[in-house]
Structure 1
Amino acid sequence: MNLLLELASFELPISNPVIKFLLILVIILLAPILLNRLKIPPLLGLIIAGTIVGPKGLGLIERDSGIILSGTAGLLYIMFLAGLEIDLQDFKKNSKKSLVFGMFTFLIPMFLGILAGLYLLEMTLLSSILLASMFASHTLIAYPLISKLGIAKNRAVNITVGGTLITDTLALLVLAIIIGSTKGEVNSVFWLKLILSLVVFTTVIVFIFPRIGRWFFKKYTDNSSQFIFVLVLVFSGAAMAELAGVEAIIGAFLVGLAINSLIPHTSPLMNRVEFVGNTIFIPFFLIGVGMLVDFRVFFESWETIWVAFVMTTIAISAKWLAAYFTQQTFKFSIDERRIIFGLSNAQAAATLAAVLIGYNTIIGTDEFGEPIRLLSETILNGTIVMILVTCTIASLEAQRGAKNIVLAESSLDQSNDSEIPERILIPVRNQETSDELINLSILLQSPKKKASMYALSIINPELQDSGAEMKAQKTLNKASETAAATDHFLYELLRYDTSIEKGISSVIRENKITDLVLGLHEKQGMSDTFLGNLTENLLSRSNTTTYIYKPNQPFETHRRHLVFIPPGAEHELGFPFWLVKIWNIARNTGARMIFYLSESTRIYIQEIHKNHPIRLEFREFPDWGKLGNLNIILKPDDNLIMVLSRKGEESYHPNMERVPDLINTFLKNHSFILVYPNQPKAGGMNGLEMIHGSLIGPIERLDFIGRMISSLFKKK
């Protein structure tokens, strides 16, 4: 009844929560679609929509506590996603570049801002410094756009995100110092309290949060519980940041970095985190920013127009100069400069917080008894205009640079796509192991290119089990649901065959499978019979890289992956193919890799590591007779990856036959993956027909492997 009365009376602003929420959802749905036809970025479309329906526009919706709450959550979500999606190895590799950019994008706006405040706007020194700090900070408002285009791991994005942490922290510290000085609180106690609180806050998030997260993810696998837990961590970090005296966005970003390795980029949890953020939280924030914009300030006075012009010009110029100097310093491309400028030009959250605090800070009264504010009302109005203009330019520039980079990368990928199409086969027997097998298969894939995945269930027609087909189909459906949760498609294959090995090998040949992922149940050991049947029946019938996986805990909760590579592995033609997959695991999870290998193999892999860095440590391969020391080497949260070989190949060793005993003795409480490299033979090259392996001599073979490694890693 109340809803009908409100519709009839057309009272503004709308107070009915149902209508208000419906209107916001319609905006989120239609604004990007309609404005996209005008080549306007979706992010900018939501800001414009917020301006139109907000209190300074048509007045349909008030910027009340609900909008502010949702907007705050959206802002924290943007910073959290920036930390979560960043490639930690690239982040460490580019840390010095991030520092350089961070100082450029802080010092240049500070210098120009102070000069503009003193000589163009005739402000006091204290007010000019605060104004300059507003120019120095920025909001990654264009980050969702960059992320959707798939270049979140680009070096320019990486450097900009790292620089954002630096400049926003420094700008907010300037704000805290300025406000403290107006109250006479900047003394030794103030500095001691600030430093101690920052150290405690950072230590708790960086060192304690990951341990809590790993424990929770191992204990609770429910999807809803894991997602809520992540939100708890984000807002806990944000609250701790405010207690430490810095802005909440710093805490959200650090939480993203801290639990980065616990949420692989291809995991179902990551898919849910991004989905909820991009569809609900972030759009609410953008609409809330639009509600702050007031076009009427242009008509209030010439002073407001002048202040808005100066602030907008200085903010854009300073950030462009910072991006330009960064480009010139590190020899970046023009499109990378556009991305740096687009990401760092938008003024929103931290700027708004600073201007509101400055506006509400009274530093005295004038001769008429009116309060003298640290930042005047004209500065407040000029800030609103600056937010609109900078967000517009930031969205357009970021989109332009990102699209050009995507087009350049796609043309490069297309030139290599026809070389080796990846097809992964996952035989599934029960729902208990299918989820982990699907997740591992996704982690084996390149972060930039999805492989074709096939789930196979084999039914023995000689067994009289009326419910076998229904059980098999149910298992396949469950596997498809797991893959769909990570935005991957899974082909379901149901096959009747009296022999599992024959059925798998036939499917491999029929579908030109390149990788086979087999699973062992958590409580199942490995017998000599199992390994013998595998090597004699399955591996002899098919030629594909084979992975035998037994999960003991969720894959993302492993601290380290110990990779045992037998001496001479680099001489085998299958070497590049499994190595790329191990590399993909490291890139997708960010976990630490420890390679146990011979000196000759290390030379090969070290060269790859220079151009494609991961968290990697080299150690000497132990003598085959000393593999009984696994219980000393392995730690509780380790995963063992052991590369084996087939009889007659260069890296084969008789002690590989002892693997079942080693596993049953030392790996009962550990996850492990056994890798059998593919061995191309004449007549059955499985995607490598162009090589003619039987005609390749030792020198040519090494040369081919080197070229194949370069080709495979080039696509990564």
Structure 2
Amino acid sequence: VYSYPRLTRWFFKKYNDNITQFIYVLAMVFLASVSAKMIGLESVLGAFYAGLVLNRYIPNTSGLMNRIEFVGNAIFIPYFLIGVGMLINVKVLFASWTTLYVATVMSVVATLCKWVAAWITQRVYKMDKIDRSIMFGLSNAQAAATLAAVMIGFKLGIFNEDVLNGTIVMILFTCTVSSIVTERAAQRIKLNLLTETANSDKTGMSKIPMPGNYKKNRTLITVSNPVTAPALVDFAVLMQPPFKKKDSELFALHVRNDNSAGSRAIGRNSLDVAISTAASADVKVTAIERYDLNVVTGLVNTIEERDITDVIMGMHRKTNVIDSFFGAKIEQLLKATNKMIVINRCFIPVSTVTRIVVYVPEKAQFETGFARWVCSIGSLASQIGCRAIFCCHPDTWPYIRQILRNNKFDIRAEKREMNDWDDFLLLANRILDDDLFIVVSARRTSVSFNSQMDELPGFLQRYFARNNLVVLYPGQFGNEVPVTSTIDPLSNDITAPPSELWIRIASVYRRIILFRKRFTQRKRTKKIDL
């Protein structure tokens, strides 16, 4: 409990390769098994305990978890079941009535106890009979855990062969009953949902709780090079709500304005890396390679063509002193589209994050994309298994909590009151290196925007330069500024606001011109007087 989390976090930060991480997980499980055997316990207990500790650092939708489940389901579990089954003497089942008697008692007691537990839960929480059937059906089946416990008892001499053989019969009986009950209860739930949908269509009010206020997820991931593509794809996969997996689509986009062989090779390599990273997590990604006037134009055109709902991109890195924190392209993209924009900069793997700290501006609940970004952060926290701390206004917290409850995100959500913009600076001393700091910003035309947000890039550059940072712009309704340019768009940005240095130079230039005009006017007036 003490050494494994620290060692795992350090290893995952240093090595991002899925194969290396998979070998590390196997080594830790085998080490725990050997350690348990050395202190007099069964090795399976050590492996089980190691899995409980390591599960926190392996998200369910990651490529590493996909490999672990595949190897476990294809090799370890079948070998375990076959190995246990080879120890059973089939002749004992028919040699005497003792084995059948033990099997009958074990099956009846196990099934009855599960039904009583489901019935008590139904009464306590005032549920329906269908809910009780679902709980009973899903919990009644006995399989690998029961076999492991009985095998340990058999080796220690606690149980005899009758109990071991009766356990096999109990597993066969409970699994059969569980499958039948669950299937029938699921059909009844589906019929009830269809009935409620029909009634809601007649009354105009839907009784079925919908996950958020949106029907689809079409995420666009911008990849510029093969180095940053895997981290962006992993982040995008973790942000997908689990209840919208079937309706979610991921697109990987690479935009180039150069038709040379080198640019083509970089684009294709970046897209191949993105596809392979998503495939390792059993997620499909549609690759898009685009030649356009500039990056922003290609992004906007792809957003409109594919009906994109949110965009995930890497954070711009400053190339000179005059360059802005976000970069001209991102600032231009924010004006050109009203979709949700997520700008990511993580120095460590997302799976090793210990906390997610979210700064929420005042009146954020009135934005159009409020429910979407709350569900995305809820999905990210639930997949990683860490707690989420929302630093928000007291009026905004009830809406965040209600959305998390309605969509059944089982996360540890906490509130920190933020009543003033000055409280934002206090977070600089509270954000740790293993935290993920998410700043929910706003566009100028949005309800939650205030004039102090113009200082946000400077604050982030000054106080959060070494932290894992995500800047999120919620989706909203409004007019979009078309992106058009007849000159080189990569060297100039027409629609971006001028920098402070350029404003000062322009003001000095205007003063010089004004002084020259006044000086020439004075000369002319003197000549007229003479």
TM range (shorter): 0.7 to 0.9
Deviation of 1:535 after TM superposition, in Å, equals 6.1
Q: Residue 438 of structure 1 corresponds to which residue in structure 2?
A: 233
Structure 2 residue matching 1:441: 3-state secondary structure: helix
Q: Mark the runs of 5 or more structure 1 residues left unpaired by the alignment.
A: 1-205, 360-374, 685-716
Give 3-state SS (helix, strand or coil) of 1:474's partner: helix
Please state if 1:388 is matched with 2:168.
yes
For residues 580-639 of structure 1, what are the alpha-carbon distances to aligned partners after superposition, in whole Å with 9 as ceiling and x for unaligned? 101110111111211100000012123344553411211012632343334311112111
Distance of 2:173 and 2:418 partners within structure 1: 55
Tell me which of 310, 318, 330 is aligned to 2:109.
318
Q: Which position in structure 1 is the counterpart of 2:332?
A: 537
Q: Does 1:355 align with 2:154?
A: yes
Q: 1:564·1:597 contact (CA, 8 Å) conserved in 2?
A: yes
RMSD: 2.9
**Residue 597 to residue 534, structure 1, CA distance change in 2 (3 Å):** farther
Contact 1:501 1:537 in 2 (8 A): yes
Aligned to 2:456: 659
Amino acid at match of 1:445: Q
Q: 1:208 to 1:403 in 2, by over 3 A?
A: farther
TM-superposed CA distance for 1:249, in Å, is 3.8
CA contact (8 A) 1:520 1:549 kept: yes
The SS at the match of 2:29 is: helix
Which segment drifts farther, 614-623 or 626-635?
626-635
Q: Is the 8 A contact 1:220 1:226 kept in 2?
A: yes
Q: Deviations over 1:22-50 (max 9, x none)?
A: xxxxxxxxxxxxxxxxxxxxxxxxxxxxx
Give the deviation of 1:489 after TM superposition: 0.8
Counterpart CA distance in 2 for 1:513 and 1:429 is 19
Partner of 1:624: 421
- CA pair 260-564 structure 1, distance change in 2 beyond 3 A: same
1:501 aligned residue: 296
| Pairing partner for 1:634 from 423, 431, 437 | 431
Aligned with 2:134 (options 331, 335, 344):
335
User: What's the CA shift for 1:234?
Assistant: 2.0
CA contact (8 A) 1:263 1:556 kept: yes
Q: Which has the higher helix share?
A: 1
SS of 1:599's equivalent in the other structure is coil
Cα distance, 1:473 vs. partner? 1.0
Equivalent position of 2:343 in the other structure: 548
2:493 corresponds in structure 1 to none
| Conservation of the 8 A alpha-carbon contact between 1:262 and 1:557 | yes
Question: 2:447 matched to which residue of 1?
Answer: 650
What code does the residue aligned with 2:101 have? V
SS at match of 2:448: coil
Change (3 A) 1:333 1:630: same
Cα distance change of structure 1 residues 535 and 624 upon mapping to structure 2, 3 Å threshold = farther
How far does residue 243 in structure 1 lie from its aligned partner after superposition?
A: 4.9
Secondary structure in 1 matching 2:438:
strand
Asked if the contact 1:558/1:591 (under 8 Å) is kept, the reply is yes
Q: How many residues align?
A: 454
Question: 1-side partners of 2:89 and 2:255: how far apart?
Answer: 66
- SS of the residue corresponding to residue 583 of structure 1 reads helix
Contact 2:217-2:244 at 8 Å conserved across structures = no
2:60 and 2:453 map into 1 onto residues whose CA distance is 34
3-state DSSP class of the match of 2:216?
coil
Contact 2:357 2:435 in 1 (8 A): yes
Q: Cα 1:404–1:230, aligned 2, differ >3 Å: closer, same or farther? A: farther
CA distance in 2 between partners of 1:233 and 1:518 (Å): 34
Paired AA for residue 601 in structure 1: T
- The verdict on how the C-alpha distance between 1:502 and 1:521 changes in structure 2, with shifts beyond 3 A counting, is closer
Tell me: CA distance 1:403–1:666, structure 2 relative to 1, closer, same or farther (3 Å): farther
How high is the sequence identity, in percent, across the aligned residues? 32
Question: In 1, Cα distance between the equivalents of 2:320 and 2:457?
Answer: 8
Name which of 465, 474, 482 aligns with 1:668. 465
Q: Which residue of 1 aligns with 2:273?
A: 478
Does the 8 Å CA contact 1:552/1:671 hold for their aligned counterparts? Answer: yes
Letter in 2 for 1:629: L
CA contact (8 A) 1:545 1:675 kept: yes
- CA separation of 1:265/1:346 partners in 2, compared to 1, >3 Å: closer, same or farther? closer
AA aligned to 2:172 is T
1:176-575 correspondence runs (5 A)? 206-243=1-38, 246-300=41-95, 305-331=96-122, 332-343=131-142, 347-358=146-157, 379-380=160-161, 382-403=162-183, 420-450=215-245, 451-460=248-257, 463=258, 465-520=260-315, 529=324, 531=326, 533-534=328-329, 537-575=332-370
- 8 Å CA contact 2:223, 2:229 repeated in 1: yes
Preserved CA contact (<8 Å) 1:526 1:660: no
Provide structure 2 residue ranges, at least 5 long, that are not aligned to the other structure.
123-130, 198-207, 482-530
Mapped to 2, the partners of 1:485 and 1:240 lie a distance apart of: 31
CA contact (8 A) 1:345 1:394 kept: no
Secondary structure at the counterpart of residue 358 of structure 1: coil
Name the CA distance, whole Å, in 2 between partners of 1:484 and 1:345: 29
- Over 3 Å counting, the alpha-carbon distance change for 1:409 and 1:652 in structure 2 is farther
Cα distance change of structure 1 residues 642 and 524 upon mapping to structure 2, 3 Å threshold: farther
Deviation at 1:513, TM superposition (A): 0.3
Change (3 A) 1:229 1:525: farther
- Distance between the aligned counterparts of 1:521 and 1:275, measured in 2? 37
Instruction: Indicate if the aligned counterparts of 2:433 and 2:468 stay in contact, CA closer than 8 A.
Output: no
What do the CA deviations read for 1:426-449 (whole angstroms, capped 9, x no partner)? 111001111111001101112243
Matched residue type, 2:177 = E
Match of 2:469, as an amino acid?
Answer: F
Residue 526 to residue 223, structure 1, CA distance change in 2 (3 Å): farther
8 A contact 1:427–1:456 mirrored in 2: yes
Shift, 1:398, TM fit: 3.7
Separation in 1, partners of 2:219, 2:184: 32
Structure 2 counterpart of 1:680: 477
C-alpha change, 1:434 and 1:250, in structure 2 (3 Å) is: same
TM-score (ref. length: structure 2): 0.78
Secondary structure of residue in 1 paired with 2:16: coil
| 1:482/1:436 CA distance change after superposition, 3 Å | same
Residue type matched to 2:173 in 1? I
Of stretches 522-531 and 643-652 in structure 1, the one that deviates more from structure 2 is 522-531
